[in-house]
Amino acid sequence: MAEALTDDLVEEILLRLAPDDPASLVRAAAVCLRWRRVASTRSFRRGFARRHRKAPMLGFIANLRDGHEGDRYDYVARFVRATRFRPFCPERRHRRALDARHGRVLLTTVPWKPTLEVWDPVTGELRELPSMPQTVTSWNAAVVCAAHGACDHLDCRRGPFLVVLLDSGPEMMHLFVYSSETGAWSEPIFGPPSPTYGVEMVPTALVGNALYFLIDATESILKYDLAARSVSMIFMPTGFNSDFAALTTTEDGVLGFAKLEKSTVEDGGLLGSSRVKCELRLLSMHPGPDGYVTWAENGSIELGSLLNVDASSIESDYVAFAHGVGIFFVGTDDAWFSIDLKSGRVMEEDYGNGDTQSIVPYSSFYTPGSFS
């Protein structure tokens, strides 16, 4: 029966399979050699991505601190599956994931002198970058496709990429850009004066041609325009500093901001008792014609009741966001939860042993031809 179908019909059947269940595509490709051949071509891979447009979240990288000998901890970046996809090497020891985008994960070695690496969990390829152009103090970095503005990012994991390194510096913030095409770092691109507390080492956000970095303990965001190679600052509303926060994005290309806030409220009891309340407050940025921006509040999520936990147990020092799929990650004393804003689904995530320091979501298409 399968052999009687034309290649075009086989391709149409395979294109209809759900991208967030990569195992179904692998099983279908195993029907016969011809089905596998169809599913393994680059044209099918491109067609599959064009059909579904939005890459699924295949999993996330949990940055763990696992055990210790004396004062030394064992650090590991562990890939935790959200689908049946499993990378060749799910753990990268003595590594921390910084960022993930366009099918790539940016890693840094820890706890010694940092060395940056770009990892493709699908193919298993790991590329070490040259030494950082100077000694860094408080810093962060991001990985992006090099064809900014000219790529739909549906199937660019094999193409050239850039790594943007932001260092707070002793006097001025500055950026360096690594190009996989030249294999070298750029000259420094200078920004505003150095902040008092440095740069937040949390995942960046990409909107259009611009990368956004959170600045530690301030009400500001650094914007780097990839095309113009220019730096500017964006200021948030008073009271919304970068502590315990994450940058977010919407499907229509709007930059957002999410912040965890804890407070003590009266519970209405006769004895005047109180309880802890934990909210995730959401904002979106709207640029004006004069170059200034305004921020709009998009409501809040009361996490204690949503997660069905004691709000005092919620870790208020870290929140993560999966761009493109609208999923938040929030931790408690002994668990991490994912919150899907669209469906309202809440799941407790199993990341194995270890103390989770942070989470970096990973989204990508996966087909049987992804290794070619």
CB atoms within 10 A of CB 176: 21
CA-to-CA distance for 196 and 310, rounded, in angstroms? 35
Residues of the chain with pLDDT under 70: 1-4, 67-73, 268-272, 354, 369-372
Would you state the pLDDT for residue 4?
Answer: 66
Q: Are 169 and 137 in contact (CB under 8 A)?
A: yes
DSSP secondary structure, 246-279, as one string: EEEE-TTS-EEEEEEEEEEEE---TT--EEEEEE
Domain locations in the chain as residue ranges: 7-53, 54-363
Give the CA-trace dihedral at 121, 316, 326, 288, to 10 degrees: -120
Give the CA-trace dihedral at 149, 154, 155, 161, to 10 degrees: 40
Q: pTM here?
A: 0.89
DSSP secondary structure, 159-214, as one string: S-EEEEEEE--SSEEEEEEEETTTTEEPPPEEEEEPPSS-B--S--EEETTEEEEE
Would you state the pLDDT for residue 46?
Answer: 80
Q: Are 27 and 314 in contact (CB under 8 A)?
A: no
CATH H-level, domain 54-363: superfamily: TolB, C-terminal domain (2.120.10.30)
Would you state the pLDDT for residue 71?
Answer: 55
Would you state the pLDDT for residue 334?
Answer: 82
